[in-house]
Amino acid sequence: PIDDMLRIMEEYGSEVSNQTLPKRRDNIKKASIVRQFRRWNPEFFRYFIHVNGEWIPKLGKEGELQRRVEKRREIKRQTTSTTKSLSDK
């Protein structure tokens, strides 16, 4: 459900960037939320399980937050090194 997606996006942020959700979300279409959720959480089912009607991270809240920080750091490092190697040519 959309409410679960919004909660997870608010609580854990993006897996792939430092983006945050806009403060006013009342006019956002469901399809847009679903698209953004999938972009932010490309490996969602690998890291979350459904227990007692709620999606929870397999690593626990702190573990999931730390994993995302590390993942974003790695993506930024890769992007920076790619940019540098292209500018060296």
Question: SS3 for 55?
Answer: strand
The answer, yes or no, to whether residue 85 has pLDDT greater than 90, is no
* Dihedral over alpha carbons 12, 14, 3, 26 (to 10 degrees): 120
The answer, yes or no, to whether residue 55 has pLDDT greater than 70, is yes
Q: Which tens digit of pLDDT belongs to each residue from 12-37?
A: 999 988 887 777 667 788 899 999 99
Q: What's the whole-number average pLDDT of the chain?
A: 88
| Stretch (H or E) spanning 47 | helix 44-47
Direct distance between the N- and C-terminal alpha carbons of the chain, in angstroms, rounded to an integer:
48
* Spatial separation of the C-alpha atoms in residues 21 and 36, rounded to whole Å: 10
pTM of the model: 0.76
Weakest-pLDDT range from 18-22, 33-37, 51-55, 70-74: 18-22
Comparing CA positions, the residue from 54, 10, 58 lying closest to residue 36 is 10
